[in-house]
Structure 1
Amino acid sequence: MASGIRSIALESTDMQLAQTGQALGASYRFGERVGSGAVGEVWTVTSTDGRTLAAKVLRPEHADDPSLVERFVRERSVLLGLQDSGIVTVRDMVVEGERLAIVMDYIAGGSLRDVVKDSGPLPPGDAVKVAAEIFDALAFAHSRGVTHRDIKPDNVLLARPWAETESGDVRVSDFGISDVVGEKIRQTTGLIGTPQYMPPELISQGRSGPAGDIYSTGVLLYELLAGRTPFAGPGTDFSVAYRHVSSRPPRIPVDDALWDVLERMLSKDPNQRPTAGEAASNLRRLAPGLAGKPALSRGTAPEEFDDVERPATVVRGAFTDDELTAFAAAPSAGVDVVAPDLGQAGSATIARPMPRREVRPQAEERSEEKDATPFWRTRKALLLGAGAVFLIVAMVVGFILLSPTSPQVAPTPPGQQLSAQLQDPALPTGLTISRSATYEPSSGQVRLTVSYSAQKAPLSGEFLEVIPGLADGETCPAVTWDGGTVSRNQASISGLDVECGWKVSGVEIPAGGSVQLTAKVPVQPADQKAMDAWIRSGSAATTAATQNPAVKGTAFPVQRLKGVEVRTPARVVTPSPLKITLVPVWAGGADELNPLYVSPAAGKASQMLAAVTGGEQGVRFADGCGGALAVDSSGLTVTALQITPQCTVRASVGNFTELKSAPFGITSRENSGE
């Protein structure tokens, strides 16, 4: 076995020596191999003018894999738009037969991985300064609509060796697995990242976005301070990944102010994390108070981790139910299970396709969970039961001894003013609906204010609002509206058959703005509980009606549109315009019969397009294949220029900013058979 390992090592060395000195394209020659990853190798190269640069070369065995080639090529196109002092600059791209290489600046000081390996934990003052510079680079990338998705010490380089490092020497590298993203986090079709640094939303739901970079950098900062990542410990790489979802990061002995900032970066809720700019400012504010504090001793990973209060019960989307069930059952059942492979000790980048799975109703999932070990037999249940008994006894004793004559707390008097507020999650189109209700006993009515807010695109048209009675089965209340043109929803016209539905017409919401309308509703909630239940029921009924997959038609597009598909012919002849069709996707699927937009355009834009993005001004196309397409100055007409077997066109439609067509080919007239 040992001789086999030696022969492999010698073979690898021989291959490296054979490549050293070879030409890379017409302008570079290979030097030494300085790094290796899952997809490519990094070499020093010398240019014809004598400069030393770095080249990332796709592994030959991957050269015929279209998806990996696309990732590799995309690294260059993304980085060319990221010209910042904190980001490694891309200089060139070489396509030579089956060899693909990206040529970039050579950063000679090594990576943060080397620093952690050689030096162990850093003094807190140094750690926060490095992290602040990483956040500066991410803030720039996020402002350009780019997320990194694989922040870790290996991908943070230093312009000089650590002992000589000064302010401004940090460089973020390897945006090769990043995707162009807009303000809205997208649902990915694959799991990409490194298990020890993956944000919980990427593991549990396949979602990625700028907030995920904040989390990963928080993990990196934790590692710089403690010498280990927060969830490293016993178990498989799957165990490490699952702890991001279910466990609290173990407290390390740093100042409370620093821990508070770090804990917010590591929040399970992406909305609770700071932006990259805020994180950089917070760390720089702490830096003076941390100056001179010694580094922590390298800590060992705990054997057990504290669960969050409401842990995710399963990692949905990234793994199959069979994998999760087997893995979850293994420790308690004493069985050996091969957990899903996430990489080497959770520190290697992976790109794993996510299986398609049918989403079952929650009731069905709950019924399956009940088939497992009964809750009353678990340790947690016994502890909760004992605590409940103790609490009841204490309350009874306290009631008898301390306040035997004190009156009981009465429910809210029916004549008291009540109020409630509720905000729905933002919809894919960028619409957010907020509701505020106040009950005035003197009038016997609830005053309901509905606010419609838009994100980056203007929104307009007709909106559905359901205003139910106080209880199921009650007659729909007679609502008096103010601030808009409102009429009863007619199912025969809209296709939405919902009780107590109203159609709000003529609403025009500017980008980044909001519009309000009010309604007087003759209902009289008895107490706060009834008030809260009433406002929630109206919101739930509105959402259920607009997201009903059985509904056909194009009514209420701002509330119903879930996505946009970019369709092109399978082949186009150069030079000629490319026909692009934007197809709306409702809860029931793509609607090919009613396109949002067709380019080159003929006639007026559809009313749907005007509703969700203000018309043609909200549509833009872009070349997705490195110069094979030309886009006119309006961003609306695309022409095929160069012959290529595989090309894509990117699109932005209002709040939908990450659209891309399926691959198509560009041929010449001679090759097309015409």
Structure 2
Amino acid sequence: MQLAQTGEALGASYRFGERVGSGAVGEVWTVTSADGQTLAAKVLRPEHADDPSLIERFVRERSVLLALKDSSIVTVRDMVVEGARLAIVMDYIAGGSLRDVVKGSGPLRPADAFDVAAEVFDALAFAHSRGVTHRDIKPDNVLLNRPWSERATGDVRVSDFGISDVVGEKLRQTTGLVGTPHYMPPELISSGRSGPPGDVYSTGVLLYELLAGRTPFAGAGPDFSVAYRHVSSRPPRIPVDDKVWEFLDLLLSKDPARRPTAADAAATLRRLAPRVADHAPLARVEAPEDFDDVERPATMVRGSFTDEDLSALASAPAVQEDVPLPDLGEAGSATMVRSLPRRDVRPRTVARVDEEEAPPFWRTRKALLLAGGAVLLIVAMIVGFMVLSPADKSAEAAGAGEQLSAQLQDPALPTGLTISRNASYSPSSGETRLTIAYSAQKAPLSGEFLEVIPGLSEGDSCPAATWEGATVSRNQGSITGVDVECGWKLSELKIPAGGRVEVTATVPVAPADQKALDTWLSGGSEATTAAMQEPAVMGTAYPVQRLLGVEVRTPSRVVTPSPLKITLVPVWAGGPDELNPLYISPASGKPSQMLAAVTGGEQGLRFSDGCGGALAVDSSGLTVTALQITPQCTVRASVGNFTELQSPSFGITSRENAGD
């Protein structure tokens, strides 16, 4: 069933043209914008759009993808949410994909393969520097600005950045796989996680395919057999220069830490290019009958499989009656989005010893020695129990019957938030009652807050909690961008300026002593603080706890008399966030939720003249007008608890001199 129809509207700005592609995630259509421009739109399939949290992830990724602008990346123009339809609108690249080239031409000239792979690495280097990982590099997602016969350097465009993050989860353990088995890095298969080194590995697979005409682990068996070879097998050597093979083997290293960065890989390919400048394409390399195993393949910790399971899968025929393994289609180019199948694992059979070859165990000298040792051990245990048991039981009873309590107060945050925690353990209930008090200083604070409640000991599972005083749900890292274990999201809190709000959680943990309670309480506080100060976190979640500062931005020169455009940029642990401004003056529409969270809204915001009368501020304190000519001027701002803010210097000129 098609997800759209020719001529149908997409949002308010686009109209569908022709369907140009289809895959596991969605369909690709040409669309025409309101100004007549031809673009492409990837429309996600309904089974993905039906996920309620996906829309939030979709919106969260929007600012990241719209900012990912580089000549080697297909530019995302818009993201449309229209009822149950989700679509990513991007530049239309007319030259086709690298998959078309591989199908039509087979192995490429090494010089051409190097050139294309280097440009893919360029795109990845740019994206990785912006904190974005692709996770599904393959020929289908490498597009050409012109047909291959007309191609020139600089025509490569990498597409579908962010699709795996919208459909799957970024750098998180999963219960299934999102990707294409022929190109999956081993760490994604063994642990469910993949980052920038995984992109480098997948591009190494792509380069191998461009040179050899097939991927390194293509061969007999279903897609999971192919996937497991990434973990367990060595890539078969192909007839290329030794230095080229050494580099290719490094790209395909099982250890992510051994692989080069994308930028280094691009530089190395260009350095090696003269060695292959005159080389003809290789003859298509056929898959070997057997693959050489690595000495110690990575342990599979997917939960759905044991090593024994996957070894069986690796040698399985293409069809197995007891394990329904899906086929990904020709060339393994389809992105797989599905859970891993489960198999019953039977215990191994232990071989029996023939009684004629060995005497009964009870007649051996070893058995007699073990029996004698056991008797001595039993006597020692009885004596020890008699001597130590009363004291131990008394101590245990004293610990179990002791009421414990602990208090902790965190330093005040830049927004004026102070968090204090009080934990009290009741032996009668076997539970700990945690009271969290949130206090505000100069400005009212509101919105969502994060609280981490860890297990009592390292390795314990996250405990359940019964909450009072707030609307509480589990933190979902795929939505908030904050990936932390045992995190809770507290919503709809409103703390008045100078006021205090308390929230309580009853947690089924029973600390053995005062030290255990103190450690548990401080562990939750430290984990919460660390999550809020993580530089890699992108997005605007939990602004009251994450906002470190506010930058006041203005144009470098303005014309008198005219309103002064002022942008308040939030500063997180990872730096200023120009994509999600806190406020823009003159304002249109409602203030941002971030501003409401850290100041209570526009009433907590004021601008003032920083250059002796050259600026006029209206009675609301929110609109500033440039009045007098001056070479240097600044505007001051007060934003909630941030009271000493000032813009960089800018000039005010007249309209007559504006063009000078």
TM-score band w.r.t. shorter chain: 0.5 to 0.7
Q: Give, in whole Å, the separation in 1 of the partners of 2:215 and 2:315.
A: 26
Alpha-carbon distance change, 621 to 215 in structure 1, aligned in 2, over 3 angstroms: closer
Answering whether residue 111 of structure 2 is matched by residue 112 of structure 1, we say no
User: C-alpha distance in 2, partners of 1:308/1:136?
Assistant: 30
Tell me which residue corresponds to 1:127.
Answer: 113
Partner of 1:350: 336
Match of 1:210 in 2: 196
Give the partner amino acid of 1:340: L
Could you say which residue in structure 1 is the equivalent of 2:447?
A: 577
How far apart, CA to CA, are the structure 1 residues paired with 2:450 and 2:226? 44
DSSP 3-state at the match of 1:46: strand
Consecutive unaligned residues of structure 1, counting only runs of 5 or more, are: 1-11, 359-364, 375-490, 496-551, 555-574, 638-651, 655-665, 667-674
Q: How does 1:222-371 map to 2 (within 5 A)?
A: 222-312=208-298, 316-317=302-303, 319=305, 324=310, 327=313, 337-338=322-323, 340-341=325-326, 343-345=328-330, 346-353=332-339, 368=347, 371=350
In the alignment, which residue of structure 2 is the partner of 1:87? Answer: 73
Paired with 1:613 and 1:630, the residues of 2 have a C-alpha distance of: 11
Q: CA deviation at 1:633?
A: 9.8
Unmatched 5+ residue regions in structure 2?
Answer: 354-394, 400-429, 433-444, 468-485, 502-520, 550-571, 575-592, 594-660
Q: 1:335 to 1:578 in 2, by over 3 A?
A: closer
Query: Where does residue 588 of structure 1 map in the other structure?
Result: 460
The 1:372/1:272 distance shift into structure 2, 3 A limit, reads farther
Partner of 1:58: 44
- How many percent identity over aligned positions? 65
Task: Give the residue type in structure 1 aligned to 2:176.
Answer: G
Structure-2 separation of matches of 1:329 and 1:373: 28
Change (3 A) 1:356 1:106: same
CA shift for structure 1 position 294: 1.0
Match of 1:618 among 533, 539, 548: 533
What SS does structure 2 have at the residue aligned with 1:218? helix
> CA separation in 2, counterparts of 1:169 and 1:73?
30
Report deviation, 1:314.
5.8
Q: What amino acid is aligned across from residue 154 of structure 2 in structure 1?
A: G
| Cα offset, 1:232, TM superposition | 0.8
Q: CA deviation at 1:144?
A: 1.9
Change (3 A) 1:596 1:63: closer
Change (3 A) 1:267 1:280: same
Paired AA for residue 255 in structure 1: D
Q: Alpha-carbon deviation of 1:229?
A: 0.4
1:607 CA drift (Å): 4.8
Distance 1:267 1:21, change over 3 A: same
- 1:226/1:252 contact within 8 Å kept: yes
Q: Displacement, 1:217? A: 0.6
- Contact 2:30–2:40, Cα closer than 8 Å, also in 1: yes
* C-alpha separation in 1, matches of 2:218 and 2:162: 25
1:235 maps to a residue whose letter is G
Match of 2:111, as an amino acid? G
**In structure 2, what is the Cα distance between the partners aligned to 1:285 and 1:372?**
58
Say if 2:191 and 2:300, in contact at 8 Å, map to a contact too.
Answer: no
Residue type at the aligned position of 2:329: Q
- Checking the alignment, whether the CA contact within 8 Å between 1:245 and 1:268 is kept in structure 2 is yes
| Alpha-carbon distance in 2 for matches of 1:120, 1:591 | 55
Q: Which of 323-332 and 72-81 deviates more?
A: 323-332
Distance 2:252 2:108 in 1: 19
Q: Matches of 1:617 and 1:312 in 2, distance apart?
A: 33
TM-score, with structure 1 as normaliser = 0.54
The residue number in structure 1 matching 2:122 is 136
- CA, structure 1 residues 319+254, in 2 after alignment: closer, same or farther (shift >3 Å)? same
- Superposition pairs of residues 532-547 of structure 1, within 5 angstroms: none
Bigger Rg over Cα? 2
* Shift, 1:134, TM fit: 0.9
> Residues 262 and 579 from structure 1, CA distance in 2 versus in 1: closer, same or farther, beyond 3 angstroms?
same
Q: Is the 8 A contact 2:309 2:343 kept in 1?
A: no
Partner-residue secondary structure (3-state), 2:234? coil
Residue 207 of structure 1 aligns to a residue whose secondary structure is coil
Deviation at 1:66, TM superposition (A): 3.4
Q: Partners of 1:371 and 1:67 in 2: how far apart?
A: 49
Judging changes above 3 Å, is the alpha-carbon distance between structure 1 residues 177 and 321 closer, same or farther for their aligned structure 2 residues? farther
For 1:295 and 1:151, the matched residues in 2 are separated by 23
Deviation of 1:36 (Å): 0.7
State whether residues 49 and 85 of structure 2, in contact with CA within 8 Å, keep that contact through their aligned partners in structure 1.
yes
CA RMSD for the aligned pairs?
A: 4.5
1:562 alignment counterpart = none
State how far apart, in whole Å, the 2-side matches of 1:316 and 1:62 are.
Answer: 23
Residues 85 and 189 from structure 1, CA distance in 2 versus in 1: closer, same or farther, beyond 3 angstroms? Answer: farther
Once the two structures are TM-superposed, the CA of residue 344 in structure 1 deviates from its matched residue by 2.4
Task: State the distance in 1 between where 2:145 and 2:176 align.
Answer: 33
Structure 1 segment 451-462 matched on structure 2, within 5 A: none
Worse overlay, 615-624 or 254-263: 615-624
Write the letter of the residue equivalent to 2:461.
Answer: G
Match of 1:635 among 547, 555, 570: 547
Q: CA deviation at 1:162?
A: 1.3
Shift in CA distance, 226/579, structure 1 to aligned 2, threshold 3 Å = same
Shift of 1:319: 3.9
* Alpha-carbon offset, residue 167 of structure 1: 2.0
Supply the distance in 1 between the matched residues of 2:333 and 2:315 (Cα, whole angstroms): 25
Q: 2:135 aligns with which of 143, 149, 160?
A: 149
Q: Deviations over 1:160-179 (max 9, x none)?
A: 11122222221111124434
Q: SS state of the match for residue 453, structure 2?
A: strand
1:193 maps to which residue? 179
* Maintained 8 Å contact 1:242/1:315: no
Aligned residue identity for 1:155: N
Q: Which string of whole-angstrom CA distances, capped at 9 and with x for unpartnered residues, describes residues 210-246 of structure 1? A: 1111111100000011111011112222221121111
Specify the SS of the correspondent of 2:454.
Answer: strand
Contact persistence 2:131–2:536 (CA under 8 A): no
Q: In structure 2, how many angstroms separate the alpha carbons of the residues matched to 1:156 and 1:176?
A: 14
* CA contact 1:151–1:217 (8 Å) conserved in 2: yes
Compared CA separation, residues 292 and 357, structure 1 to 2 (3 A): same
Aligned letter for 1:26?
Answer: A
What per-residue deviation string (whole Å, max 9, x for no partner) do you get for residues 590-645 of structure 1?
25789999987979xx8547866977972689786xx9x784695289xxxxxxxx
**Residues 461-484 of structure 1: CA deviation (Å, up to 9, x unaligned):** xxxxxxxxxxxxxxxxxxxxxxxx
Looking at structure 2, the residues matched to 372 and 204 of structure 1 have their Cα atoms a distance apart, in angstroms, of 31
Q: Does 1:21 align with 2:22?
A: no
Contact 1:330 / 1:336 at 8 angstroms: preserved in 2? no
Moved more, 201-210 or 211-220: 201-210
- The structure-2 alpha-carbon separation of the partners of 1:322 and 1:35, relative to structure 1 and needing over 3 Å to count, comes to same
Give the alignment partner of residue 161 of structure 2, picking from 158, 175, 187: 175
Question: How many Å apart are 1:208 and its aligned residue?
Answer: 1.3
* 8 A contact 1:236–1:339 mirrored in 2: no
Q: CA deviation at 1:114?
A: 0.9
Cα deviation, 1:541-590, whole Å, max 9, x if unaligned, reads xxxxxxxxxxx999xxxxxxxxxxxxxxxxxxxx9522432333541122
CA displacement at 1:70 relative to structure 2: 5.8
The answer to whether the Cα contact below 8 Å between 1:82 and 1:141 also exists between their aligned partners in 2 is: yes
